Amino acid sequence: MRKHFGAVVSCALVVAVMTLGIAARTFAATRPVVTCSNGIVAAAHPLASQAGLQILMKGGNAIDAAVATAAVLNVVEPDYSSIAAGGVMMIYDAATKDMVCINANAPNPAKASMQTLTKDTAQRGFAAGMVPAALKAWCEAIEKYGTMALAEVLAPAIEYAEKGFPITERLSSAIQSNLTLLSIYPTSAAIFLPNGEAPKPGDILVQTDLANTMKRVAQEGPDVFYKGEIADEMAKFFEENGGLITKEDIANYEVEWGEPLHSTYRGYDVYSPGGEFCGALVLEQLNIVEPFDLAKMGSDSPDTLHLMIEATKLAGLDRDKYIADPKFVDVPEKALVSKDYAEAQRVQIDMAKAADRVVGTDADKYENTTHISVIDKDGNMVAYTTSIGSSFGTGVVIGNTGVFLNNGGGWMEFKEDHINKIEPHKRPMNNISPVFVLKDDKPVLNIGTPGGDAIWQTMFQLVVNVLDFGMDVQTAIEAPRYRTYSFGGNDVRLEGRVPEAIRAELQARGHKIRTFADWTSSVGGAQGIVADYDRKVLMGGADPRRDGYVVGW
């Protein structure tokens, strides 16, 4: 028996359907909510979730478990994850009430500019790639808030890389879709295209070089990667192949510690990353709709969807106008999340007619992203969303490291007057925006999603599903979603499960409706956890739109 989450129970993995409310629903989730009391991990691959759970069961905390999970994702979904990726990690320390945010959004190297790169060369190939960031965030999080040694936390990932794992149908399909790209680069083809073909589902994928890189880090610490022999190998590889990244770029990289943005919504405290991340947009959307009684309007109401879509379009305009690296531009994030600003935005919404608001940036950015949510028995939380940019990032495995780089520079602008223009050392605008919700300093919701431009739109919908419509976390994740696009002012896509009558009513109000497949990853692949302190229970949900799984004990 052990003390856990405010109660005492035997150790067990419990799977059951539970709800956080009584709102009526016209659809049901395809999966049960995972319920437990000692700790819970939600990630985009079952092997990664299980690795995090193993760490919790050994006595590690949420930070230890999140890093273990992230490291395994690097191995089992290399098209989405990398030890060198970019992203953001939010941490809530239950003992101190600290709420911190680690900005690990990978920056451009010093030589990256509109003179040295084009839109194409910034996306794929030897010249593309951002400075490795993820590992530095993992190690600093462990050092400050973790309880276990780095070697123990990385052990599951090293084992899967060294001994191999059976690949999923999704990963097999991703490799097949990128066969031409991966075949260009011998270092990539040697690992992912044995005999020149994509591995089939169930084939064992071994990544010996990646295992050796992680072993060195586990034994010697992150300096071997950023300043030692691994950094030398990466720098040599780029020099020999016409790349831009240098040893100085790698050695000088530092993550940025800070606090997430904060707002309130219906009496809850809501947190999401600011700066060049899009957390401000999530909070802005919530503030815009807060005066409306969404619960009374109903989750399946055309009025509700129209209102939320219009709020999303207003926030999208603010992203393109204001969100960029705050080291280069002034981001008025505190104003964006203020109640006064929300009121000024709200009056622009006509409930009878869709407004023509054209969002100016490309439609699909940072689609190859993944999210991890963890809560441990003491109420510590981690929300970590990380991205490699496009599928397999730059497409190039760096020498004998087994590592792909994030290709975020390819999503920056090549326009002199654009706030997100590509510049040396600059971090790209990033749609990533995980959310923590607390009540009286106690965790309520820990959730995040991949999905490119859909991320901050989907996050808004997920929070509303839980807090307004009382959905359990699995149902909130599975509920049909919308996504606005930049092709025109009123372009909206709805998942096919949205009833025809609702689509017709939205069209009558001026929305240009197109339909996704019933279950599309274009609206994300969320992972989330609800903490119910009254019943002393943790409840997790994972998105069937991806390979997500939740495990707890």
Tokens (6 digits) for 345: 């935005």
**Residue among 387, 429, 413 at smallest CA distance from 275:** 429
Measured CA to CA, the distance from residue 168 to residue 546 in angstroms comes to 11
- pLDDT in the model for residue 78: 96
Distance from C-alpha of 73 to C-alpha of 525, rounded to nearest angstrom? 14
User: DSSP label at 78?
Assistant: T
State residue 533's pLDDT score: 79
Quickly list DSSP for 312-332.
HHHHHHHHHHH-S-TTTS---
* φ/ψ of residue 173, rounded to 5: -65, -40
- Two structure tokens written together for 448: 């995040």
Domain ranges of the chain: 2-135+155-172+202-252+377-411, 173-201, 258-366+432-467+476-519
Mean pLDDT per 10-residue run, the chain (553 residues)? 34 31 58 95 96 98 98 96 96 96 97 95 96 98 97 98 96 96 97 94 98 98 97 97 97 97 98 98 98 95 97 94 96 97 97 79 60 96 96 96 95 93 96 96 95 94 97 97 78 94 96 94 94 90 93 96
Please give the structure tokens belonging to residue 226. 């950023």
The DSSP secondary-structure symbol of 509 reads T
| Cβ 411 vs Cβ 362: under 8 Å | yes
- The span from the CA of 433 to the CA of 261, in Å, is 10
Burial annotation 302-319 (CB, 10 A radius, 16+ → b, else e) = bebbbbbbbbbbbbbbbb
**What pLDDT, on the 0 to 100 scale, is given for residue 18?**
34
150 SS3 class: helix
The helices-and-strands tally (H runs, E runs) of the chain is 19, 22
Q: Which residues are known catalytic residues?
A: 369
Query: Which residues have CB under 8 Å from 512's CB, separation 6+?
Result: 488, 490, 491, 492
Cβ atoms of 553 and 58 closer than 8 Å:
no
Pairing label, strands 381-389, 368-376: antiparallel
- Tens of pLDDT, residues 438-460: 999 999 999 999 998 999 999 99
β pairing state of 512-515 and 491-494: parallel
Give the DSSP letter of residue 393.
T
Question: If DSSP states are collapsed to H, E and C, what string results for 243-290?
Answer: CCCCHHHHHCCCCEEECCEEEEECCEEEEECCCCECHHHHHHHHHHHC
Q: Give the strand pairing for 98-104 and 256-258.
A: antiparallel
pLDDT of residue 16: 30
What is the amino acid identity at position 97?
K
pLDDT of residue 550: 97
On the CB side of 60, CA atoms within 13 Å amount to 30
| CATH number for the domain whose boundaries are 258-366+432-467+476-519 | 1.10.246.130
Of 301, 249, 328, 251, the residue nearest 499 (C-alpha): 301
Residue type for 107, please? P
| N-terminal to C-terminal alpha carbon distance within the chain | 13
How far apart, in Å, are the Cα atoms of 247 and each of 96, 237, 262, 404, 431? 38, 11, 37, 17, 29
pLDDT in tens, 317-369: 999 999 999 999 999 999 999 999 999 999 999 999 999 876 544 444 446 88
- The reported pLDDT for the residue numbered 415 is 93
Q: CB-based contacts of 526: which residues, under 8 Å, 6+ apart?
A: 371, 447, 448, 449, 458, 462, 477, 541, 542, 543, 548
CA angle 438–443–448, rounded 5-degree value: 85
Q: Which two tokens stand for residue 213?
A: 């890189």
Residues written for the chain: 553
- Taking the C-alpha atoms of residue 184 and residue 348, their distance in angstroms, rounded to an integer, is 50
For 49-94, where are the E strands, in sequence order? Answer: 86-93
Greatest alpha-carbon span in the chain: 64
Rg of the chain (C-alpha set) = 22
Beta bridge partners of 126: none
Query: Residue 488's pLDDT is what?
Result: 52
pTM: 0.93
The DSSP secondary structure of 59-91, one letter per residue, reads T--HHHHHHHHHHHHHHH-TTT--TT-EEEEEE
Q: Which of 276, 268, 261 shows the shortest CA–CA distance to 337? A: 261
- Beta strands, E only, 105-237: 165-166, 204-205
